[in-house]
Amino acid sequence: MGDYKNGNVIPAREQVYPAPNQGGVSLNRSLVFLVSMIIISSLLSLCISMTAIWKQMDDVRKVCNVAVVSAQKNGGFDEETVNLFYEMISRDNLEIEDVQYIPDKGVQVQKRDELQIRVKPKVVVNIPFAGVKIIDVGYIEVSGNSHKYWK
């Protein structure tokens, strides 16, 4: 029996058969799949961790913003503003390391004077394969100008 190649009959003894599978291709594919899976899972973990960090920072930024708006309304970081700030922090289960009020608590400022709050949040993230970590994100600063006019 023969086969056809370019219209000519090839004798059976000249036919070239593929080499038996040595397992190389299969191993390579498995390795590529494994490495891809590791890379994808690492990237996903990183994304999840980054989202958690970003969300906590965004929540703290919102709370700071409300505190500054309240200070703008009251003409300084008075007791009401400070209480509201801590109430929001506890309600949203946020953790903070340090708070700085500029000017200090209880100081009244004139209309258009600058008010600033600096907060250092304690960002706690559960990183897969690494456990719970505290990330240092520095200070979050929110500023505004007083709307209240003291006679």
Binding positions for other proteins, rule: CB under 8 A: 62-63, 65-66, 69-70, 73, 84, 87-88, 91
* Rounded least distance, CB 74 to other proteins, Å: 10
- Which residue lies nearer to other proteins by CB, 55 or 112? 55
* Rounded least distance, CB 79 to other proteins, Å: 14
- Which residue lies nearer to other proteins by CB, 84 or 123? 84
* Rounded least distance, CB 11 to other proteins, Å: 27
Structure tokens, 128 = 């897969």
Structure tokens, 137 = 């994100």
Question: Exposed, middle or buried, 123 (CB in 10 Å: 0-12/13-18/19+)?
Answer: buried
Burial 6-41 (b: 16+ CB within 10 A, else e): eeeeeeeeeeeeeeeeeeeeeeeeeeeeeeeeeeee
- Which residue lies nearer to other proteins by CB, 57 or 69? 69
- Which residue lies nearer to other proteins by CB, 63 or 109? 63
Contacts of 116 (CB under 8 A, 6+ apart): 68, 101, 102, 141, 142, 143, 144
* Rounded least distance, CB 81 to other proteins, Å: 9
